[in-house]
A and B are shown apart, each in its own frame.
Chain A
């Protein structure tokens, strides 16, 4: 019944290998010639992309040889998601990693349709951002280190998506966390930036702890971490929902940390301290999507734990809404985009939690296009305005930076979800999936109405704040003091490519159906018969039009309106501008007590006990040495006395015995 085809493909190992070599080479060569490092890193990235495309083609050939059966969507609770047929993958097992007792783990790469999508996104957008970085980091003296870290990140991310079991995925998971830390704190001489890197790493770690718990539970109960083995065992499980729910929730907490959802999203806005290409690559297109990827990968687990899915949707909706509200009042262009990313990740998790995993991946892809374009555009603006990031000091840049403005505008319309740009399709599917979620999940039925409203409001706010950022930056009169200029071609070219993808991505999906392609690996719903009519699509884009329109009015003609509105409701404004005081609450609840504990442990245990015992041992040796030293005084009479006393003792002992 289940016709799955797994072929061996030794090229798979090359995909992560190129960036790994690139990381080492870029650093070493960069010690000599600084400018070469960027080209080496970009070259490695492009090679990786080429191999990914080759593997993708191989997979496509395999798929055209098989009849396509869709994976049946999970029915009501109690039914199991069964892989009917059509699972396609390329596999490459590098070596047996370890075997302990009855538990053995191989270092396996598996390239199925989901991985193919992720690989192409990571390597493709990664290569574009590497190219962009050559221009962006041209004047920075430590650019070889930057490119080395960037390639190292690519390596880790590729491990994550290529991993055939949870342990290889986890290696990549940790690796991207490390690279995120290294890259956020890249300009480490600035203490605040280094602190931001540390914050990202620590918050991520909390999620990782939950991930590990899930890992341990899976190993204990199923004895395997391989995705296919887990899928076959779990889909046939009868009962045991409590265990699956706990595992799913733990995995989701891990995803929360990596993909910046409530309550572990606080690191992402601070992460804007890193160079803008980092923000584009890691904190928009790839690393933060790891949580979504994990959820899609483990769909068979989540499908059997509807309570966990309900929690996912709740948190996702809340995050999408709250983050959108915070983005409304930010003045730093990168912070707007950071909160936007948090919000859009919430959208992705809403789709995943509603059981429509392919929609989440679809939005992941389209979001990667337009968000990366937005971030790179922001970087271009920052570069052109000589490191100015405050939008209040920008304005009218459309005259100076036409290409940046055009690509930014296209991406703005895309994220606003306006037909026919890509964002429309993915957003539309998400809202649809949410409205149908109640059918499959009894826990969600009561909340669908509220959630749908919140999501529509979030969509309107998304359109609004992004257009606001566009208007404040590019329209009106220039309010700053620098001399803005357009960025070099190496920076504009990726912008153009990404904007084109953001424009066409949705239509592209209609042409080679992403839904069908992903259907080989994860459950997809019924295929939408034909497209909807253009008029219907445009009317479904109303939240986008509303948000864009309002923002354009507010920020071009009625310049006073936003200020007046915020003056009318001061407590509300304060709440938003204070980012809901998450950081402050965490500081009081968690950071302060931990600091006290750490200081106590440092003073009494580390310095007192450990240093004390080591130093004490040395002191004992020292003192006893001083005492014993007196026997070698060089005084003849003392030696004579010792000999005499010794002889007396000997004689006594002789007679005593």
Chain B
């Protein structure tokens, strides 16, 4: 009851974030990259909640709310972009949308 397991949760958060980051960089499908993005955000949420419990007050959990709202809005916008991209390029591969370059 008095043991502080927040370290485990932060480690979980770290692993989840790493998986999300690697996935974002590696995967070609835009929707899968998006999912990895969500994974990274949720990893941050877990870290916030765990540490909020350790600190004692509820500030961390309030932040989680904000993050979730932002994630939701971002998901909406992002999916709209992917839809537009699919309409123009006939594909969801991230390497196809590389026209903004030198």
- A residues contacting B by CB (< 8 A) are 629, 632-637, 640-641, 644
Contact = CB atoms under 8 A, between A and B. Distances in A.
A634 B21 contact: no
B25 A634 contact: no
B100 interface: yes
Contact of B95 (A629, A635, A640, A641): A635
A484 B86 CA distance: 95
B94 A634 contact: no
A323 B1 CA distance: 125
B3 interface: no
Given A635-B94, A635-B95, A640 B25 contact: yes
Interface in B13-27: 21, 24-26
Contacts of A641: 25
A644 B21 contact: yes
13 contacts: A632-B101, A633-B98, A634-B99, A634-B100, A635-B94, A635-B98, A635-B101, A636-B33, A636-B97, A636-B98, A637-B25, A644-B21, A644-B25
Contacts of B33: 636-637, 640
Given A641-B25, A644-B25, A636 B94 contact: yes
B76 interface: no
A116 B94 CA distance: 93
Contacts of B26: 637
B73 interface: no
B86 to A, nearest CB: 15
Contact of A633 (B21, B28, B101): B101
Pick the 5 closest A-B CB pairs, nearest first. Answer: A634-B101, A634-B98, A632-B102, A636-B94, A641-B25
A629 B102 CA distance: 6
Interface in B50-102: 94-95, 97-102
Given A629-B102, A636-B97, 20 more contacts: A633-B98, A633-B101, A633-B102, A634-B97, A634-B98, A634-B99, A634-B100, A634-B101, A635-B94, A635-B101, A636-B95, A636-B98, A637-B28, A637-B33, A637-B94, A637-B95, A640-B24, A640-B25, A641-B25, A644-B21
A641 B94 CA distance: 13
Q: Would you call the interface of chain A mostly helix, strand, loop, or mixed?
A: helix
A5 B33 CA distance: 103
A636 B95 CA distance: 7
A281 B100 CA distance: 73
Contacts of A635: 94-95, 98, 101
A641 B24 CA distance: 9
Contacts of B25: 637, 640-641, 644
A629 B99 CA distance: 14
Nearest to B27: A637
Contacts of A629: 102
Nearest to A635: B98
Contacts of B98: 633-636
Contacts of A637: 24-26, 28, 33, 94-95
Nearest to A626: B102
A637 B94 CA distance: 7
A281 to B, nearest CB: 66
Contacts of A644: 21, 25
Contacts of A633: 98, 101-102
A190 B99 CA distance: 60
Contacts of A636: 33, 94-95, 97-98
A633 B102 CA distance: 6
Contacts of B100: 634
A634 B102 CA distance: 8
B57 to A, nearest CB: 25
A635 B102 CA distance: 11
Nearest to A630: B102
A69 B95 CA distance: 105
Nearest to A633: B101
A635 B97 CA distance: 7
Nearest to B97: A636
Nearest to B100: A634
